Amino acid sequence: MSSTLPSQAPVESTPKVAWWRVHGFLIGLGVAVVLGFVIPGPGSRHGILKPDIVSNAGIALILFLQGLSLALEKIKSGMANWRLHLVIQAFTFGIFPLVGLLLNGVVPLIWTTQPQAVSDGFLYLCVLPSTISTSVVLTALARGNTAGALFNAAFSNILGVLITPILVHLLMQKTGQSGDFGPLLLKISLLTLIPFSLGILLRPSLKYWVDRNKAWLARISNLVILFIVYAAFCDSVEQQVWHRYGPSLTAKTCGWVMFLFALMSLLVWGGCKALKLNHEDLIAAYFCSVKKTLAMGVPLAMLIFGDRQDLSLILLPVMLYHPLQLFVNGLLANRWAKLPPTI
């Protein structure tokens, strides 16, 4: 008589998400850039899409949605770790900008044909706040201090609404590129600080609706960002900015972006080790300090540099830094998740 094995319940496999859904925003960035080169007319400064009006309204909407989605009630548990907060914010708004200023003086000696717009773009990248969602997700995946990461990423974005334009102004003054700051600060306050604050104030009453629809709210913000990127490239194509520099510009910018990312990663890691942060805090400090937000970076760039026809060149370092940080930090988070909780 043949024996039979006991029946086993089928193992449920985790449903796989299509790759284009996971990387949809990066794909969208590529499509927006291609459309800017192929069909520049509608999105150019005087095009039928009215990019100035749409972009300004979109910027206010993005900042309102970011304030509305900022779960302040979830970050209270991470508030007490002041040492971690000082380290992260010092790297984000102190050491990173200083490194940017240093590179601004060194890079032109090596890359003698570097356009001023790309140089401004690197300075701008260095003063941006951290990301919120990916910093927290990667910290959690790597078994770091998730509460501390959430607090600092959120706090960084709150500070960044006002501090980033001020730092851009100060750094541009150092390089002799700054203009009148008063009207710009007023415009930034109207289109970012007020909508952002309004979103935070309305968060308690709309919290449950926002949490249920956060995926759609993120898509709306991403579409506005993609439109701003498209409009920026339309203007530069119409003015033949890219024709003057050729494809080597992107390759050289990419190389310096990788150098900047590697340098800051080493500085953050070495600094945190020297300060003897514990394992969980070190993980949170790393991911919050080396990451820079594209979601807030594009709208703020539109406000700060929107009158310039080489805006696409200014955005180039930020746009190249974004996929690089996602790729490298994703690999690091997965590797650290498999290691014992000691570094």
Q: In terms of pLDDT, which residue wins out, 178 or 187? A: 187
On whether the CB atoms of residues 43 and 51 are closer than 8 A, the answer is: yes
Rounded-to-integer distance, Cα 59 and Cα 189, Å: 12
Query: 136-146: per-residue pLDDT in tens?
Result: 889 988 989 98
**DSSP secondary structure string for all residues of 33-63:** HHHHHHS-TTTSTTSTT-HHHHHHHHHHHHH
- Give residue 121's pLDDT: 93
- Give residue 8's pLDDT: 45
**Correct CATH for 46-337 of 3.30.70.3280, 3.30.365.10, 1.20.1530.20, 1.10.3720.10:** 1.20.1530.20
Is residue 262 over pLDDT 90? yes
Rounded-to-integer distance, Cα 32 and Cα 46, Å: 18
167-181, 236-250, 293-307: range with lowest mean pLDDT: 167-181
On whether the CB atoms of residues 58 and 214 are closer than 8 A, the answer is: no
Rounded-to-integer distance, Cα 114 and Cα 295, Å: 26
Residue 164: which of 123, 195, 194, 221 has the closest Cα? 123
- Tokens representing 279 are 């394992």
Rounded-to-integer distance, Cα 43 and Cα 21, Å: 26
Residue 123: which of 265, 247, 297 has the closest Cα? 297
Q: In terms of pLDDT, which residue wins out, 73 or 31? A: 31
**DSSP secondary structure string for all residues of 283-339:** HHHHHHHH---HHHHHHHHHHHHTT-TTHHHHHHHHHHHHHHHHHHHHHHHHHHHTS
Query: 17-56: per-residue pLDDT in tens?
Result: 555 565 677 888 889 889 988 998 888 877 888 877 888 8
**Angle of helix 116-126 versus helix 294-305 axis, rounded to 10:** 130
